[in-house]
Amino acid sequence: MAKLILSVDGTVLKEISLAKERTTLGRKPHNDIQVDNLAVSGEHAAIITILNDSFIEDLNSTNGTLVNGKPIKKHFLQNNDVIEIGKHKLKYFNDTPVQSAAADFERTMIIRKPAAAAPMVAPPSPPPLPAATPPSDTMTNMRPMAALAPLATPAAPPLAAPAAPASAPAAPVLAAAGAVREAAIQVLSGAAAGRSLDLVKNLTTVGKPGVQVAVITRRPNGFFITHVEGTSFPTINGATMGGQAQQLHDHDLIEISGVKMEFFFKP
């Protein structure tokens, strides 16, 4: 479950779990999170939680609501976002599952619409779980809840000044061991001799469409060339390629549809 850590002047006050569909923040005591400070409006903001996603919305407060230093009206919360209300800070945590649960991450699951939306009242209401009673199994349970980042000890101020925007949680990125070395090809013969082409895209096609075409793919572990179309295959350093992808090494000489080109890593 996602949570917030409320602090002021670097001192942690409390931790709040976002269990309800609507979590209110404000100065008045009826709020779920009461922030007792004159810079905070009676009803200042609300956090709407839909299963694993949370949004914060400013409720036309006098002094506004900031997220990572920027004033917002409505904002989709990302892991490590810092909300500011008056002088108080709330850090939002919604971590991705730990490594051991990786196999369950991305698992498709079915969610049912609740039979009737429960009216939101002060006592915490359960998150919108399926109304039907399914057999107890992994099928209709929610995805295993993320193991959350451990709470920082009160001694050390847990909230860094929001200098940079929050990082995107679990956005699929190229699983690169290290940074991919930049590379390019330089045309050595033919009409385009002397020209070079940086291999920045994941796929770069070379050759003559309808005659002979190969594709150079940019992958986490290097660059590979694969024959795409044509009755004859390109040569690498004089040797004719097979049908499989072949890894390219620094200064490899490729010849395709009569044109020679050199593959090289940029310094």
Partner 1 sequence: MALTDALQITSVSDPGRVRGHNEDCIESRPDIGVVVLADGMGGYNAGEVASGMATSLIATGFAQVWTKERIGRLSRDDAAALSQSILQEQVSIANRAIYDAAQKDPHCAGMGTTLVACVYHDNFLTVGHVGDSRLYRLRNDALEQITRDHSLLQEQIDSGLISKEDARQSQNKNLVTLAVGIDPEVEAEIHTYDVLEGDIYLLCSDGLNDMIEDDEIQMTMIALRTNLDLTAQQLVQAANDAGGRDNVSVMLVRVVKSFPAERGLWAKVKSVFA
Summarize as ranges the residues that interact with partner 1 (CB under 8 A).
Answer: 50-53, 55, 76, 78, 94, 96, 102-103, 105-113, 134-135, 137-140, 143, 168-175, 201-203, 205, 209, 213, 215, 217, 219-220, 226, 228-229
Instruction: Name the nearest CA neighbour of 56 among 34, 24, 26, 96.
Output: 24
Nearest CB to partner 1, comparing residues 118 and 122: 118
Asked if 22 contacts 53 with a C-beta cutoff of 8 angstroms, the reply is no
With CA atoms as reference, report the closest residue to 7 among 75, 76, 95, 82: 82
Q: Is 36 left (phi over 0), alpha (psi -120 to 50) or beta?
A: beta
- Smallest separation (angstroms) from partner 1 to the CB of 216: 10
CA-to-CA distance for 147 and 165, rounded, in angstroms?
23
Output 38 or 168, the one with its CB closest to partner 1: 168
- Smallest distance from the beta carbon of 246 to partner 1, in angstroms? 14
Identify which of residues 7 and 246 has a Cβ nearer to partner 1 in the complex.
Answer: 246
Q: Are strands 22-26 and 33-34 parallel, antiparallel or unpaired?
A: parallel
What is the nearest approach in angstroms of partner 1 to the Cβ of residue 34?
A: 27
SS3 114: coil
Cβ 157 to partner 1 shortest distance, Å: 27
Q: Considering the complex, state which of residue 103 and residue 156 has its C-beta at the smaller distance from partner 1.
A: 103
